[in-house]
Amino acid sequence: MKVKDEKASVWTLPNRLSIIRILFIPLIIILISTEYEELLFASCLLFIIAGITDGLDGYIARKMRMTTKLGLYLDPIADKLLVSSVLITLTYYRMVPLWVTLILVAREFIINGLRSFYAMEGIAIYPSFSGKFKTTLQIIGIACILFNGPMNKLDIVVHRIGLIILYLALFFSIYSALHYVAAIFKPADVKGPGTRNQGSDT
């Protein structure tokens, strides 16, 4: 009975939303790759829905006390997979500068590697405000870039707004990464043995 309960606890609503977000990724990429305006707009809508599930799963987990160990790692992984894969696709189709994507994606690999290392040591790293804000800006910026309005002029304006928001996301991405690394390498006795819970991102 205990084993059954543990399995059931893994499939909480927040975890299911994270999995749905991951399953949306190939569909969004396929829609972008068609380069048809209507399908590009459809990819924008799907991406927005995926972005909404990002905030929704965390809210439900806290509000309904459905936080799980799996969710602690599945949620940020789903976010990073979604944002990184779509950014790479948009760069391939020359909709986002290569250098922006390289910095954002490389940063995620580095921070995830450090986070995984400390997780093996039994040290949980929790999200910071700047990290969450960075993710929100990335989702809004990418959604603007994917947008295809009824007029070409509107498309250009929204696309430029999306790039500006991505540049802001880049700033907060670097800032949160530096804050994260600084928190990790603080002396252990600052927070007490075996605990470190500041400076992370999602």
Higher pLDDT, 168 or 70: 168
**Comparison of pLDDT for 1 and 58, the residue scoring more:** 58
pLDDT at 189: 46
For residue 172, what is the domain's CATH number? 1.20.120.1760
3-state secondary structure the chain: CHHHHHHHHHCCHHHHHHHHHHHHHHHHHHHHHHCCHHHHHHHHHHHHHHHHHHHHHHHHHHHCCCCCHHHHHHHHHHHHHHHHHHHHHHHHCCCCCHHHHHHHHHHHHHHHHHHHHHHHCCCCCCECHHHHHHHHHHHHHHHHHHCCCCCHHHHHHHHHHHHHHHHHHHHHHHHHHHHHHHHHCCCHHHCCCCCCCCCECC
Residues of the domain holding 25: 2-190
Which of 45-54, 105-114, 126-135: highest mean pLDDT? 45-54
Q: Is residue 195 part of a domain?
A: no
Q: Per mean pLDDT, which range of 66-70, 103-107, 147-151, 186-190 is the poorest? A: 186-190
Q: Reply yes or no on whether the pLDDT at 199 is more than 50.
A: no
Taking residues 135-155, report their average pLDDT: 82
Q: What is the CA radius of gyration of the chain?
A: 18
Check: CB of residue 148 under 8 Å from CB of residue 32: no
Inside any domain, residue 202: no
For residue 197, tell me if it sits in a domain: no
- Paired strand residues for 82: none
Sign of CA dihedral 63, 86, 22, 26: positive
Domain count, the chain: 1
Average pLDDT in the 165-180 region?
90
pTM > 0.95: no
Phi, psi of 94 (to 5 degrees): 60, 35
